[in-house]
Amino acid sequence: MADSLTLSPPKKLDAGSVKIADVSKTFRVEGRTVHALDSVSLSIEAGEFISIVGPSGCGKSTLLRFLAGLDGPDSGRIIVDGEAIDRPSLRRGIVFQDHRLLPWFSVEKNIGLSLHSVSGSEVEKRERVQYLIDLVGLTGFEKALPHELSGGMSQRAAIARGLAPRPPLLLLDEPLGALDSLTRSHLQDELLAIWEREKCTVVMVTHDVEEAIYLSDRVVVMEPRPGRISQIFNIRNARPRYRDDPEFVTTRREITELLGSQKKKNH
């Protein structure tokens, strides 16, 4: 069974907890110092679905890259399951906005590549890849090359690649940002189903307030110059959620107004 394929330390039920403590980062852009992140702190429990929203320049993507281990902060610490992050790991899967499938590999090879450095037999890996292809609804497209896929299909393949090594923590950088609204809402439901099945922690960066409320346990609103957390919203509505539910609409208005007031303040 594909479920037998796991990363070397057996996955604990509470795996995927994150502690971001006092993280700061500055960039030099054209001779000027930009405070991308200014002492950001956030704790995420194992199994939570967290969304980060905010205008461009608020540091949300930078924060996600730190969680992935692709870049590091100037100061502060990021701890996942008790270990400080110092480089990328298969225990933290990442899905980029521009799907980043390798154009020379088929769908199944692209997904299989994330199992390349995982121990396990070829048969187990093949089963796991096929299980994920079925899970994201790409059955029949195993041999297709990325340029033969639509945007939505490419993004599904990218999500499958992120999920393949069973990461306790899944990082999504505007994974549905480039899709049309119909494909988008369909993939949101699939994302929820996957999250419920895989029981991983999800941190998603998005521009879309409605998407954040629809999916998340908590919505973290950030603001720019310097990049920091301005407010965290707990979304208590039971799933499946309805976008016209009064409570949903109220929360959406609150977040949108908060983002709007930031805009006024910064101009």
Partner 1 sequence: MTASSNRVSQAGLIWRALVLPAALIIIWAVLDAFSLLNSNILVSPTKVLVTAYQGFADGSIPGATAATLLRALTGWTIGASVGLVVGVLIGLSGIARGLFDPSISSLRQIALFAWIPLFSAWFGNGEIMKVTLISLGAFFPMALGAQAGCQNVPAPFREVGRALELSRFATLTKIILPAAVPAILTGLELSLNIAWLGTFGAEYLIGTGYINGMGDGLGAYLAAAREYARMDQVLLGVLFLALIGVALDRLVIGLSRRLIPWRTA
148: left (phi over 0), alpha (psi -120 to 50) or beta: alpha
Chain center to CA of 158: 12
d(CA 88, CA 68): 6
Tell me if 96 contacts partner 1 by CB under 8 A.
yes
Within 10 A of 9 (CB to CB), how many other CB atoms are there? 10
Q: How far is the CB of 113 from partner 1 (least distance, A)?
A: 6
Considering only residues 24, 51, 114, 216, which one is a binding residue for partner 1 as defined by CB under 8 A?
114
* Residue 66 binds to partner 1 (criterion: CB under 8 A): no
Nearer to partner 1, 50 or 94 (CB): 94
CB of 249 vs partner 1, minimal distance in Å:
37
Q: How many CB atoms lie within 10 A of CB 86?
A: 9
Number of residues that bind partner 1 (CB under 8 A): 23
Q: Which is nearer to partner 1, 51 or 106 (CB)?
A: 106
Q: Calculate helix-pair angle for 122-135, 151-163, nearest 10 degrees.
A: 140
Asked if 195 contacts 163 with a C-beta cutoff of 8 angstroms, the reply is no
Q: How far is the CB of 195 from partner 1 (least distance, A)?
A: 20
248 is written with which tokens?
A: 């949903």
Residue 265 DSSP symbol: H
Residue among 89, 130, 183, 185 that touches partner 1 (CB under 8 A)? 89
Half-sphere exposure of 204 (CA within 13 A, CB side): 29
DSSP-assigned beta bridge partners for residue 223: 228
Residue with smaller CB distance to partner 1, 84 or 102: 102
Residue 61's SS3 state is helix
Q: Which is nearer to partner 1, 99 or 252 (CB)?
A: 99
Least distance from partner 1 to the Cβ atom of residue 219, Å: 25
Contact call for residue 83 and partner 1 (CB under 8 A): no
Of 98 and 196, which has the nearer Cβ to partner 1? 98
Tell me whether residue 54 or residue 146 sits nearer to partner 1 (CB atom): 146
Which one of 46, 79, 90, 249 is in contact with partner 1 (CB under 8 A)?
A: 90
Dist. CA 195–CA 215, nearest whole Å: 10
The residues of the shown chain that bind partner 1, judged by CB under 8 A, are: 68, 70, 87-90, 93-94, 96, 98, 100, 102-105, 113-114, 116-117, 145-148
